[in-house]
Structure 1
Amino acid sequence: MLKGNFFQGLGCLGEGFRLIRRPGLRLFVIIPIILNIVLFSLLFYFMAQGFSALIAMAMGWLPDWNWLQSLDWLFWLLYGVVILLMMAYGFVIVANLIGSPFYGYLSELTEKELTGQEVSVEGGWGQIVKDIPRALWREVQKIIYYLPRAILLLVLGLVPVVNLVSAVLWFLFNSWMMALQYVDYPADNHRVSFGNLRRMLAARRLSAMGFGLPVALAAMVPVLNLFVVPAAVCGATAYWVRERSGQA
């Protein structure tokens, strides 16, 4: 039986957007947004180049049945959604890999704003530089977790008939990954291992999916997705504080 509160998780991203406007957090929001603009422009260009080739390959695998070939518009739509979901999380992966030291400190500042308590005794730019190796390793762990599952879903998406549900599976997987991606920042600040974090989120999967779903949707919307990353970091920290206090 799934546990958690879906609607409590659902409201955390909105709270994150409110938090990023606070004066004490703005600097660590502006810098990643500038990086995100450059990254998204490059990612959009390369994904658009490969989209037509992927559709042509998938259509070439279909049996030569007139009625099936006439549904090519549906396959364009389904593959378009899958590509959009891949691009959304691909953007998140690259943006977080580069901005992870900023986001870890942004999460610390957010938790202090919410609780009034320091997460660590050190802070500032020195702490950001010191945490770069650990932050990068956490991002690599998430990529290692993500890639084999993403490849499996991508292969299933190329199989006729099965691909009719692949977009739904991709979206559910992306929602889970968004929760795992962003709640990892406050978890890492508290030195909770990535494996333990996965188990904690799985134990209250409804709450996690409630948080991850709007993040996954927002990451698919051009321009909005430039702001969703820092907002999701703040929202995930609010999620962490609420879930931890609820379990205390």
Structure 2
Amino acid sequence: MRDLGAGFHYLLKGQRWVARHGKQYGFGLIPGLITLVLYLGALVSLATWGEDMVSWATPFADGWSSPWQGLFRGFLAVLLFALALLLAVLTFTAVTLLIGQPFYESLSEKVDRDVSPDGTAPESGLPLWRELWISARDSLRILIRAGLWAVLLFALGFVPVAGQTVVPVLGFFVTGFFLTEELTAVALQRRDIDLRARLALLRSRKALVWGFGTPLGLSFLVPFVAVFLMPGAVAGATLMARELLGEENRDEDRDEDSDENTQDEEEPVPGP
């Protein structure tokens, strides 16, 4: 329970950090807005032509009498849209981080410098194209894992009682874990920690991870909220990554006083 509360605390700390650093927050909104437009377009297209896709995929039902044909295909269309919505929640963070790699990388470095006792931040030393390739490769691996979990939970949803009670709760915890992995990857990749090691690190503190990612995943179900929470989520995940690695932080109270005095002197985050 203590780790659950600590994870949620890091989520709040990240939002407070970007609230004190307005320029970083503004730059951090751009990738989320781009991803939101892409996802809305895809979901609207699915809602518009979903029934046509189901009809094309179920030619065996062409000869069914009314109302069974309409009920069957309507049910499949709703299931298709629900699965697409679940996958959108699971993949939104990965796609946003991939699009906004330069933005969030710079934001995460700023957080590291802000809380590090010596004012420095780890650097990968890799060229941008190499960082993008590693991020895309690891994101694809995570999306495959998340997709398998989504299909499994979707199938378990048909189990009476448990499918309507236990399975949705498990779904949010699974979503929270994968969201946290994607967000902490921004800071951990700069420290040359590969995907296998990152997953092992997160599994060692599952309650901390769930406390951070599960409420974030729930909030992402509210339209447009994900866009505005992403910059703070990256900041909070960076702070949590430092704890997972046992890295020392400066005194928190002193940091907040310093932030208030130097907010107007911040340097803007470079664009991509």
Hey, what does 2:127 align to over in structure 1?
130
Letter in 2 for 1:154: V
Hey, what does 2:7 align to over in structure 1?
9
Letter in 1 for 2:225: L
Give 1:116-155 correspondences, 5 Å limit. 117-120=119-122, 130-151=127-148, 153-154=150-151
Q: 1:76 and 1:5, CA in 2 relative to 1: closer, same or farther beyond 3 A?
A: farther
> Larger C-alpha radius of gyration, 1 or 2?
2
User: Aligned partners of 1:155, 1:240: CA distance in 2, in Å?
Assistant: 29
Task: Give the TM-score normalised by the residue count of structure 1.
Answer: 0.74
Hey, what does 1:189 align to over in structure 2?
190
Q: 1:194 and 1:150, CA in 2 relative to 1: closer, same or farther beyond 3 A?
A: same
CA positional deviation for 1:18: 1.7
Hey, what does 2:43 align to over in structure 1?
44
Give 1:88-167 correspondences, 5 Å limit. 88-115=89-116, 117-120=119-122, 130-151=127-148, 153-154=150-151, 157-158=154-155, 161-162=158-159, 164=163, 166-167=167-168
CA positional deviation for 1:100: 2.0
8 Å Cα contact 1:110-1:237 kept in structure 2: yes
CA positional deviation for 1:27: 4.9
8 Å Cα contact 2:201-2:244 kept in structure 1: no
8 Å Cα contact 2:25-2:232 kept in structure 1: no
Instruction: Point out the more displaced range, 228-237 or 82-91.
Output: 82-91
CA positional deviation for 1:226: 1.1
Hey, what does 1:26 align to over in structure 2?
25
Q: 1:52 and 1:8, CA in 2 relative to 1: closer, same or farther beyond 3 A?
A: farther
Instruction: Point out the more displaced range, 236-245 or 170-179.
Output: 236-245
Give 1:199-214 correspondences, 5 Å limit. 199-214=200-215
Is 1:225 the counterpart of 2:222? The answer is no
CA positional deviation for 1:245: 3.3
Q: 1:13 and 1:76, CA in 2 relative to 1: closer, same or farther beyond 3 A?
A: farther
Identity within the alignment, %: 20
8 Å Cα contact 2:32-2:226 kept in structure 1: no
The alignment partner of 1:5 has SS state of helix
Structure 2 gaps, min length 5: 62-70, 250-272
Hey, what does 2:239 align to over in structure 1?
238
Hey, what does 2:254 align to over in structure 1?
none
Q: How many residues align?
A: 234
Structure 1 gaps, min length 5: 62-69
